[in-house]
Every structure is written in structure tokens, then in C-alpha cells.
Amino acid sequence: MKALRIDHVGVVVNDLSAAKAFFLDFGLEVLGEAEVKGKWVERIIGLNEVKSTVVMLGLPDGQATLELVKFHTPSDDKGMQQSFANTLGIRHIAFAVEDIEAIVVRLKERGADLMGEIQNYENTYKLCYVRGPEGIIIELAENISLS
């Protein structure tokens, strides 16, 4: 028995269209979109009366898949809780990129926030964190040692 690979990362959002647009602007592509409901999904995730919309997004090279989920029912009574880079739990999704500065400019034009600043790590990577819609944090990593 062994794990083979990470199949996808799931992110639950309230504003599915804003989250989807953010990742499409970033360069991901829609792989599929569907309404999900019924006993089968309720048994998988341990919730009752599930009705959700799921959008599967992927990188053009097919190496990573991201699942955005909007639960119509049941809803999260607590609502969106803003987190920070040091909040316990899964906190960010990292992407290898080219031309980190241009990507940050484009994301900021679309309303994303650079959380700190772009930093050069030991002349091997340029790194930064960006907060998008729904508080989603992405890390951008440009490998400059290969340039």
C-alpha cells in the first residue's frame, strides 16, 4: 500500500465566480463544472442535505488540479474567517511561475493583495505570498537559479 500522488486540492468558497475568475486570470483552465448533491456525496463527506457546485481547474500541463467548492447547503454558520500565514492548518497553495513581478502586477490589478513583498531567497528563488478572493493565499515561486 502506498500513496501515488496528490490528486487535487479542494478549496471551499462562498463567491465561486470570484474565486474561479482569480484562478482563470492566473492561468488555470476549467476542466469541469457540476452540481453535486445526493446520498452518495453525503456519505463521503459526512454532511446531510448537501447541495454544492464544484469547479475543477487545472494547469495547462496537467500537473496539478484545484477543486473549488461552493456549498449551497448546508452552509457554514461561522462564515469566512480571515487567516494569516502562521494560522494552523492548510494555509496556502504554492505555484511555480515565470516572471513573478508581471504576475503580481496582473493579480493586483484584479484586486489581489501582495501580503509582504517579493524576496530573493539565496539567489535560487523569488518568492511571495498573494491573497486572493475568499482569503485564499497563494505562494508564487520563480526558480531564478535556472535562468
Residue-wise pLDDT for 22-49, tens only, equals: 999 999 999 999 999 999 998 988 989 9
Average pLDDT (52-64) is: 93
pLDDT on residue 86: 81
CA distance 38 to 80: 25
pLDDT on residue 3: 67
pLDDT on residue 80: 67
Could you give all domains of the chain from N- to C-terminal order, each with its CATH number? 9-73 (3.10.180.10), 93-143 (3.10.180.10)
pLDDT on residue 4: 67
* Straight-line distance from the first to the last Cα atom of the chain, in angstroms, rounded to the nearest whole number: 39
- Whole-model pTM: value is 0.87
pLDDT on residue 2: 81
pLDDT tens for residues 76-117? 877 767 777 788 778 899 999 999 999 999 999 999 999 999
DSSP 48: S
Q: Are 15 and 134 in contact (CB under 8 A)?
A: yes
